[in-house]
Structure formats: structure tokens, C-alpha cells
């Protein structure tokens, strides 16, 4: 599995092997590499601000405890998202289906003029609200694709579905979210 | 250039990983449907941008838990479920077999046991056999129960005392 951060960095598989061999530094490096992305995903998918950090911590705890369960035919990133998604699903059940909105200040990934930026931020808020109305799988597929940049194979591995189904969920999510664009 | 090709490339462009070619940019400018999707994708790429965690603090807490929390081997819920279903199915099958098993119909056939030697005997022979067995019963010692008339006054008193107590 190629490294996410460059050729000089050890791969996730190498870090996982080092953790198995007893290196706590390797575990710390894996957390540093993936914690922020996982937090963004969980927050966008409906985790409340107060529960995001706990969910991230629990996801890594479960990942390291059950590292033998990581079949390396999928990336560590897919696997940790898979654990996070399942934890969020449990939290969602405990909250009896209530999705928590988290509208934050945004950093614009694409340079625009101030007018465009304001429109884009309004759209982003609409999309954030619109995401809460989507079925869970549509919401998570959309976020993994657009927010995290995963390809469909990784999305399928993360959410326990097929590539074809992931494409269909993405298509439906975009179709519904388009209706919110002014 | 198809809308699908543009759609597939949108997440990468929105996250600054790749750029539009001139042809793609022209398509985007002229296709209202693609523009609407592009707005959704660029907005989606920004969702929860402000959500951050202190990765070092998370790592520290995770490692602390890994050091201190014992590994709990739990009986897998799936195995438990399969076991319960199997047990329930067994009970169901057994109860069905018991309740639907055909009961014997009509009167029971008379029991006849052939005793070699006796079947060839005539009526007289059988009577003789019975007679030969009779002394065994009469010779058997029995408990001799005396009547109250046979008891002397002292024994009668003892019996009366026994009854009263």
C-alpha cells in the first residue's frame, strides 16, 4: 500500500507492522496521519462537535486492538473510515436517528473572488444541511468521494458495499443536493 | 467530452489535486447540469472543514488505553445467535414429530407367548402341570397372625397400650 504522505514516509502497512512489533511511535504516526481526515468525515456525516474526538479515539483504539482483522487488500485509510462509520452508526442509533449539524468556518479550496466566495459559503451551508436529509449511505459515500477524495473501490471497502452500489449512492446524493443549489 | 467524465474528475479538482483542461473548462461553462454538480462538489469538499482534533492528544489517550485496558475476549454475538436459532429449530422439529406421530389405531393385538413343551400338552396334561406347581404355594411359610383370643391378659394389655400410644 503506497504511502499517503510521500516516498520517504513509511507506508501504513509498515507502520502497522511496526506497531505489532511493539513500536508505540508507529501507532502515534498512524493517528497523526489519519485523525484529522477521520474527524472531518465524522463531523460532516453527522457526529456532534462534542463526540467527534471520542469517536476518533475509539476508532483508533479498536483499530489497534483488532489490527489482525485488517485485511491489507484495502487501505488502512478505508479500514479506519469503516470503523469510524460503524461507530457513528451506533452513536446515531443511540441518538435515535438525530443527525447533528456542524456548520463551520470554511477554508476555500478553490480561489474565488469575494462575491463568489460568499455564494460558495452559502451553498456549503445548504449542502451541509442537505446532507442531514440524505440516507446514511448516500451521505457517507458523498463525503468519502468529495470531502476525502477516495475512489469508489476505497469507498466500497470503507462502507461494506460494492463499487457499483457506491456509484449509484453518489449519483443519487448529487442529484438530491443539486436541488439545493440556487 | 462527456458529462460523466467531468463528473468523475470534479472531486479531484475541487480538492486542488488536478486542474481542468481547456476543453473541460469550456464544457463546464456551457453545461448547466455540470455547473450545478460542480457547485455541489465544491461545497461538499468544504463540509466540516473546521472539524479538527489534536492528533497527538488522541494518540496519547489511545496508547494509554491500549496499555491499561485488558483485552476482553467476548463470545461472538453471531455464534450465540446461530446457537440459539439451532436450539430453537431443534425444539420445534422435535415437538412437531412428537405431536404428529401417528397413534396406534384399533385394539391392541392379544399377547400370546408360546412356551415350548406346553403347547403340545392336552387339557389333562396342563392340569397336571398346574397341580405340580400348587404345592410350592401351599408349602410357602406364611406369617402366623394369632387372634386376640390366643393372648394372655398381660399381652392384651401390651397391645392395648400400643394402640393407645
State the Cα–Cα distance between residues A52 and A41, nearest whole angstrom: 10
Nearest to A57 among B13, B36, B61 (CB): B61
State the Cα–Cα distance between residues B142 and B72, nearest whole angstrom: 75
Mean confidence (pLDDT) of chain B: 79
Judged by CB atoms closer than 8 Å, whether chains meet at B39 and A174 is answered as no
Give B103-132 pLDDT, tens digit per residue. 656 565 555 656 666 667 777 777 776 776
Total beta-carbon pairs less than 8 A apart between chain A and chain B: 140
Q: Is ipTM beyond 0.90? A: no
Judged by CB atoms closer than 8 Å, whether chains meet at A36 and B15 is answered as no
Interfacial A residues in 128-157 facing B (CB < 8 Å): 128, 131, 142-143, 145-147, 149
Distance from the A131 Cα atom to the nearest Cα atom in chain B, whole angstroms: 9
Give A73-125 pLDDT, tens digit per residue. 889 999 999 999 999 999 888 876 666 655 444 444 444 556 666 777 788 88
When computed from its CA atoms, the radius of gyration of chain B, rounded to whole angstroms, is 51
All 3 cell numbers of residue A158? 470503507
- To the nearest 10 degrees (0 to 180), the angle between helices A76-94 and A24-44 is 50
Interfacial A residues in 78-117 facing B (CB < 8 Å): 102, 104-110
Which residues, 6+ apart, have CB-to-CB distance to A47 below 8 Å?
Answer: A55, A88, A91, A100, A102
For residue B49, list chain A residues with Cβ-Cβ distance below 8 A. Answer: 40, 104-107
Give the pTM: 0.66
Give A21-75 pLDDT, tens digit per residue. 999 999 999 999 999 999 999 999 989 888 999 999 999 999 999 888 887 788 9
Judged by CB atoms closer than 8 Å, whether chains meet at B41 and A65 is answered as no
Distance from the B86 Cα atom to the nearest Cα atom in chain A, whole angstroms: 27
Least confident of A17-31, A151-165, B37-51: B37-51
Amino acid at each position: 500500500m503506497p504511502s499517503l504522505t510521500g516516498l520517504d514516509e513509511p507506508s501504513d502497512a509498515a507502520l502497522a507492522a511496526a506497531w505489532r512489533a511493539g513500536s508505540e511511535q508507529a501507532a502515534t504516526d498512524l493517528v497523526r496521519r489519519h485523525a484529522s481526515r477521520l474527524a472531518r468525515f465524522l463531523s460532516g456525516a453527522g457526529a456532534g462537535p462534542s463526540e467527534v474526538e471520542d469517536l476518533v479515539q475509539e476508532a483508533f483504539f479498536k483499530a489497534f486492538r483488532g489490527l489482525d482483522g485488517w485485511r491489507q487488500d484495502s487501505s488502512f485509510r478505508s479500514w479506519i473510515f469503516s470503523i469510524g462509520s460503524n461507530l457513528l452508526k451506533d452513536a446515531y442509533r443511540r441518538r435515535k436517528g438525530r443527525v447533528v449539524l456542524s456548520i463551520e468556518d470554511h477554508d476555500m479550496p478553490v480561489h474565488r473572488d469575494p462575491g463568489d466566495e460568499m455564494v460558495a459559503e452559502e451553498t456549503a451551508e445548504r449542502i451541509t444541511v442537505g446532507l442531514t436529509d440524505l440516507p446514511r449511505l448516500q451521505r457517507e459515500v458523498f463525503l468519502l468521494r468529495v470531502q476525502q477524495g477516495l475512489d469508489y473501490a476505497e469507498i466500497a471497502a470503507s462502507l461494506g458495499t460494492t463499487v457499483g452500489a457506491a456509484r449509484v449512492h453518489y449519483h443519487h446524493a448529487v442529484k438530491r443536493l443539486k436541488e439545493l443549489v440556487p | 467530452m462527456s458529462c460523466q467524465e467531468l463528473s468523475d474528475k470534479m472531486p479531484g479538482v475541487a480538492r486542488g489535486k488536478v486542474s481542468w483542461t481547456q476543453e473541460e473548462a469550456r464544457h463546464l461553462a456551457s453545461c448547466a447540469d455540470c455547473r450545478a454538480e460542480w457547485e455541489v462538489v465544491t461545497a461538499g469538499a468544504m463540509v466540516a472543514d473546521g472539524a479538527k482534533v489534536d492528533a497527538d492528544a488522541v494518540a496519547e489517550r489511545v496508547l494509554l488505553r491500549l496499555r491499561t485496558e485488558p483485552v476482553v475476549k467476548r463470545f461472538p454475538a453471531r455464534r450465540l445467535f446461530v446457537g440459539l436459532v439451532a436450539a430453537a429449530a431443534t425444539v420445534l422439529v422435535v415437538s412437531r414429530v412428537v405431536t404428529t406421530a401417528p397413534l396406534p389405531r384399533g385394539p391392541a393385538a392379544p399377547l400370546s407367548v408360546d412356551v415350548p413343551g406346553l403347547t403340545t400338552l392336552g387339557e389333562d396334561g396342563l392340569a397336571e402341570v398346574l397341580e405340580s406347581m400348587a404345592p410350592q404355594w401351599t408349602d410357602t411359610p406364611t406369617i402366623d397372625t394369632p387372634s386376640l383370643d390366643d393372648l394372655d391378659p398381660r399381652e392384651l394389655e401390651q397391645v392395648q397400650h400400643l394402640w393407645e400410644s
